[in-house]
Amino acid sequence: MNLLPRRGSLRRQEAAAGWLMTVPAIALLLVFLVAPIAMAAWVSLSNWTGIGSPFASGVSSVGMRNYAALLTEPGLAQQQLGESLRNNLYYVILVVPLQTVLSLGLALAVSRKRLAGRGFFRTAYYFPSITSSVAISIMFLFVFGNAGVVNAVIGYLGAHGPDWFDNPSGVLHLVYSGLGVTQPPAALADHGLLGMPWWEWLAGPSVAMIAIITLAVWTTSGTFMLIFLPAIYAIPAELEEAAIVDGANAWQRLRRVILPMLRPTLFLVLTLGLIGTWQVFDQIYLMSQGNPAGTTLTPAYLSYVESFGNQQWGQGAAISFILFAIIVIFTILQRLMLRDRGAT
């Protein structure tokens, strides 16, 4: 007779207890994460009209038709998706590097031990990040208004400021016309992607979008500065001292010592930046609603108006899944680019 339970059954009991402990967490994940995503995926494949449950008997699958209307069939839906992707792409291309460089610069500046009033500067730079985005958006509407501060400064310098939020011209188009190219070459005008000619893809962010980009960089740099700061403090002082002894100048120390040490943090900041910028919504909702002429439309905002405004819930959900795919692809690309050489 052996009174002790056998080893295997003890393991089994432990495993059962373990599962029991994790049930609340799993349930929460199921209800608030997995189920909504699954529901949205179903909606993107269905003809749900927004009335009652999407799983009710009257709702049926339409296969990939919602995705086809957005990706392959010429029409307004496809054109607006193209526009929104172009606008958002320029937004990402400008905001992510600018906010990363700016926040790193701010972090390096306020981490210097000899700087007087470090606490004050840290708080000042972080302030925009903790202020309500609604308040900041409204403030920028005034700052970039026709008679706002920005145009007053431009006027003081002798130039005439643009109607920022009413100007749909792409800044690259303005550059081309400055170089004497006002009519698109036939190759760029007659061919395109997603219902939009290449010439329009090459328009660059509109003047209105530049104002929103400025806002985004100004707002988020403080947050990322806060992420860089502890990482900079964690770099052992001996490393930098050794570099100084070896005769490295300030630029070489930054390039060869500090930046390599910050690689994991840089990865985090770039990833968060990429995801956040592809999902830009609240500034668009508050400031421009996609105007002027659709040049500040973004996929996240388009998904919202297509669903809640136009009651095309399937297409709205499909846009969000297309956006999801784009974010995943960009994050993987960035991971490949920042991967430690030598490591797998």
Footprint of other proteins on this chain (CB under 8 A)?
19, 26-27, 30-31, 34-35, 38-39, 49-58, 75-77, 80, 145-147, 163, 165-166, 168, 290-294, 305-312
Q: Shortest distance, CB of residue 163 to other proteins, whole angstroms?
A: 6
Closest CA to 144 of 165, 168, 128: 165
Nearer to other proteins, 51 or 338 (CB): 51
Smallest separation, CB 235 to other proteins (Å): 39
Q: Where do we find the tokens 């979008």?
A: 209
Q: Are 54 and 66 in contact (CB under 8 A)?
A: no
Q: How far is the CB of 249 from other proteins (least distance, A)?
A: 50
Residue nearer to other proteins on the CB measure, 142 or 233: 142
Three-state SS letters, 58-85? CCCECCCHHHHHHHCCCCHHHHHHHHHH
CB of 30 to other proteins, least distance (A): 4
The smaller minimum CB distance to other proteins, of residues 48 and 126, is found at 48
* Smaller CB separation from other proteins, 146 or 249: 146
C-beta closer to other proteins: residue 276 or 292:
292
Cα separations in angstroms, 18 against 15, 21, 24, 307, 342: 5, 5, 12, 42, 38
Give least dist CB 158 to other proteins, A: 20
223 vs 288, which CB is nearer to other proteins? 288
Q: Minimal distance in Å, beta carbon 146 to other proteins?
A: 4
